[in-house]
Amino acid sequence: MTQPDIIVIGGGIAGVSAAAMLACDARVVLIEAEPQLGYHATGRSAAIFIRNYGNDVLRALNALSAPTLQAPDGISDRSLLSPRGEMLIASESETAALEDYAKGATGLERLTAAQAVALVPILRQERIAAAIIEPDAQDIDVDRMLQGYARLVRERGGQTVKGAAVTGLSRTNDCWQVTTATSTWSAPIVVNAAGAWADTVARMAGLAPIGVTPMRRSAVLLNAPDGYQIDAWPLVAGASEGWYAKPDAGRLLVSPADEDPVEPHDAWPDDLVVAEGLHRFEQAVTIPVTRPTHSWAGLRSFTADRTPAVGFDPSTTGFFWLAGQGGYGVQTAPALASICAALCLGHQMPAPPNILDALKPDRFRVT
């Protein structure tokens, strides 16, 4: 490729989906530090689409993404979603949290404690004061989604460079010079899709950070409890987000739903945090919790208002933020990639002005 029009930094779902959309009309180079795409947050997610998850802006982005996840033209030959459902259960002290979640939500159904236990028979009925289910929540095939977008980048003439950490960024002659250990690229636009490292990349470019905070979230796999067919169970979560559990390829994924702020790094689970989370889970169920067969952690990176930061940085030229996707980055990727392409290339804007305003990356900076 001769000089690209746009360089995307970060090969997680945000960067890869954006690169695919941008490559429709621009020469795109996607640069990823790790030898493989999706190595960090994207490859460690719980892989679920929950329409009502997040604040109003996120709920709008979830709705905008749903059609692409359902009918992923060009990305995959079939839906990236499959039925799961999400059930929230509340003890007496958690009913306010459950009602908070239900406010402004769509498609929820109320359940009695007995109905909740009928769906997930290991739950302790006497601890359930209230329950709701979002039947429309779906599993996402994240790997197929990521590989599908990566293939689109290739098919549209884009170039992907893996195992190449960006170490320098400067703007000269109306272009960003992007340096890795082995090469230098130059383009008028840079997209910062570096996940937990988004502020690090901004600082490299001499820009003020916006406060993207990586928060560790852990998960373990347990063997399926003896005597239960778990595959059709919905994801079930404590209403105050102290734990959640969902079937995962024949085993039970349990997360302590931790949210500990950390420096950007290759995350691993903290044993104590996992043990405390498993204890909270164990109090809600009738089965003994067995030793995890596998555990991992990833970084969910949040801005101060828990809404992504998407748009050009007004303090310079050609620096685009695509960061702060928090716990929603897989399910909102199609919408955010389209918004990125619309803002960079003048494509038709898929989101209304109030959503674009809410995503403005400089909203945290004191003027």
Query: Which parts of this chain interact with ligand FAD (CB under 6 A)?
Result: 9-15, 31-34, 38-42, 44-48, 165-166, 193-197, 201, 217, 219, 298, 300, 325-331
Element (DSSP H or E) covering residue 44: none
85 or 130: whose CB is closer to ligand FAD?
85
125 or 179: whose CB is closer to ligand FAD?
179
Q: How far is the CB of 343 from ligand FAD (least distance, A)?
A: 17
44 or 91: whose CB is closer to ligand FAD?
44
185 or 312: whose CB is closer to ligand FAD?
185
Q: How far is the CB of 272 from ligand FAD (least distance, A)?
A: 17
130 or 142: whose CB is closer to ligand FAD?
142
Element (DSSP H or E) covering residue 172: strand 166-172
Q: How far is the CB of 332 from ligand FAD (least distance, A)?
A: 7
* ∠ Cα 338 105 334 (to 5°): 15
| DSSP designation for 74 | T
Give the chain's length: 367
Q: How far is the CB of 256 from ligand FAD (least distance, A)?
A: 10
Q: How far is the CB of 287 from ligand FAD (least distance, A)?
A: 22
Q: How far is the CB of 339 from ligand FAD (least distance, A)?
A: 14
**Which are the contacts of 190, defined by CB distance < 8 A and separation ≥ 6?**
6, 7, 8, 9, 169, 176, 178, 205, 318, 319, 320
- Residue among 325, 323, 297 nearest 217 (CA): 297
Residues 112, 128: Cα–Cα separation, whole Å: 8
Q: How far is the CB of 113 from ligand FAD (least distance, A)?
A: 26
- Residue among 126, 118, 132 nearest 50 (CA): 132
312 or 328: whose CB is closer to ligand FAD?
328
Burial bucket for residue 233 (CB in 10 Å: 0-12, 13-18, 19+): buried
117 or 319: whose CB is closer to ligand FAD?
319
Residues 80, 186: Cα–Cα separation, whole Å: 35
